[in-house]
Amino acid sequence: MGALVQDPHVPGLQTLLNDRFAPGDPIKEMAALQKEFSIFDLSHSLRSVARLIDVVPTDSKARASWLKYLGHLKDVQSDKASVNAHDRIIMALKEDLESKSVLPVWFGWHVGTKLTVTPDDQPLVFSKTRYLRISVPVHHA
């Protein structure tokens, strides 16, 4: 991530993402938006969706870098054969938000080369809340 999004902005972006898809009202709102507008669909880019749901930094330079990074995910592999990270994120969110048992979503990063999606995970060791975990690979410099 560091080459496109500067380190000081990463924690804030992770917080924006995780707050937007948090348990309770936030994830209920995202499910309702998905139902009404089909936001998460392969006909929409993550760049467009991020702007629409306001998961972008307020700083214009950081925003441009973040949106470029989201586009870059089209060149990153995922845990599904022949599906890039960009499309995998959209497909995973669509499936979750349209399911009968919507899970909140936890976004994170890991050292590696492939995006991973883990359903029914417990990323917060102090909480029993189950999440859909989406973890984006970053290269260690």
Summarize pLDDT for 37-78 with one digit per residue, the tens. 999 999 999 999 999 999 999 888 888 988 998 999 999 999
User: Mean pLDDT over residues 15-43, rounded?
Assistant: 97
| pLDDT class of 140 with cuts at 50, 70, 90 | low
Shortest CA distance to 51 belongs to which of 87, 20, 26, 97? 20
Number of domains in the chain: 1
| 60, part of any domain | yes
Shortest CA distance to 3 belongs to which of 56, 58, 76, 54? 76
| 2, part of any domain | no
| 30, part of any domain | yes
The whole domain housing 53 covers 7-138
| 33, part of any domain | yes
Mean residue pLDDT of the chain comes to 90
User: Mean pLDDT over residues 86-91, rounded?
Assistant: 98
| 1, part of any domain | no
| 38, part of any domain | yes
| 117, part of any domain | yes
Residue 27 CA to residue 133 CA, distance in Å, equals 14
Q: In the 8-state DSSP scheme, what is residue 24?
A: T
Q: In the 8-state DSSP scheme, what is residue 84?
A: B
Tokens 């938000």: give the residue: 97
Answer yes or no: is pLDDT of 9 > 70. no
Considering the entire predicted model, what is its pTM? Answer: 0.90
User: Mean pLDDT over residues 15-41, rounded?
Assistant: 97
Instruction: Give yes or no for a contact between 34 and 91, defined as CB atoms under 8 angstroms apart.
Output: no
